[in-house]
Amino acid sequence: MTQQSRPVYLKLRDQIAAAIIEGVYAEGEMLPSVRAFAAEQGANPLTVAKAYQQFQADGLVEVQRGVGMYVVRGAAEKLRRSEREQFLAREWPELKVRMKRLGIDPTELLAHS
Amino acid sequence: MTQQSRPVYLKLRDQIAAAIIEGVYAEGEMLPSVRAFAAEQGANPLTVAKAYQQFQADGLVEVQRGVGMYVVRGAAEKLRRSEREQFLAREWPELKVRMKRLGIDPTELLAHS
DNA sequence: CAAGGTGCATCAGTGACATAATACAGCGCG
DNA sequence: CGCGCTGTATTATGTCACTGATGCACCTTG
């Protein structure tokens, strides 16, 4: 049967993204080192590095070799915008279809807030 | 960068589940044979069989050896209920948190219907 | 310079996934 | 019965994402 568990590096990636957006890792500040974060999360440093890499590629964090990775100014808002766009374009459409198929009314769900 | 492509057998499984709920494969009727469906989808018969297996295990389809797999009566509603429950319990909570973080107002999305 | 911290490149191992080639057991129909 | 269709069990192979261990280059600090 196997399973389909979300890869660790993606979980970490989402977790970090949320932290950046919410200001836990404020702009201009340093991200936890790959080793520190790995130890904290019980993961492998390389796996953490893989999660960090995407932010670096997107220009959301800057690497100072031998020092660490810093959150770029405007990263939080930039990240929020791109994630928002991704969500609306990719996930929401099929999500809406699926909810309709399951007989779920989105407006009803908001009442339980 | 790798990918994160959903396994084929899970895609097929979702596709079939949707078809059952929507009545494309009506109750009492026969599902496409593993070979036929495999040829149609460009997949391997074994992969299709793997997708079918879950429905069989959940008692949603019945196997008549040498004949084919039939959709059990009440399968559509049963499937809808279980999927609905899954969605509300597992996906929606974190989805709600995530939407809030991204500054997305669910009510706004309904306007685009 | 020496020590300890950073990220990162390289190589390797593991397991899920998909495909393939057969073979078998059961059923329907001519 | 014989043919063709069902699902399924078996075995094998190949691929690839994921994870991990090791070592290196770079920086800061004392």
pLDDT tens-digit readout, A87-100: 999 999 999 999 99
Q: Mean pLDDT throughout B66-92?
A: 95
Q: Which residue has the higher pLDDT, B113 or A17?
A: A17
For residue A113, pLDDT beyond 60: no
The answer to whether residue B88 neighbours chain A at the CB level (below 8 Å) is: yes
Query: Two tokens at A53?
Result: 């890499």
Q: Mean pLDDT throughout B104-112?
A: 72
pLDDT of residue A1: 55
The CATH architecture of the domain made up of A8-110 is: Orthogonal Bundle (1.10)
Residues of B from 10 to 49 whose C-beta is within 7 A of strand C: which are they? 10, 42-44, 46-47
DSSP letter at A18 equals H
> Is the sign of the CA dihedral B29, B35, B37, B39 positive or negative?
negative
pLDDT of residue B4: 63
The answer to whether residue B102 neighbours chain A at the CB level (below 8 Å) is: yes
DSSP letter at B62 equals E
pLDDT of residue B112: 55
3-state SS class at A98: helix
**Residues B8-55 pLDDT 10s:** 999 999 999 999 999 999 999 999 999 999 999 999 999 999 999 999
Report the candidate in B27, B60, B103, B111 with the shortest Cα–Cα distance to residue A82: B103
Amino acid symbol at A99: M
Q: Which residue has the higher pLDDT, A1 or A53?
A: A53
Chain B, nearest residue to A81 by Cα: B102
Q: How much of chain A, in percent, has pLDDT values that exceed 90? A: 86
* Pairing label, strands B61-64, B68-71: antiparallel
**Residues A8-37 pLDDT 10s:** 999 999 999 999 999 999 999 999 999 999
The rounded distance, in Å, linking the Cα atoms of A77 and A102 is 34
**Residues A3-13 pLDDT 10s:** 667 899 999 99
The rounded distance, in Å, linking the Cα atoms of A63 and B104 is 31
- Residue B28 CA, nucleotide C30 C1', distance (Å): 26
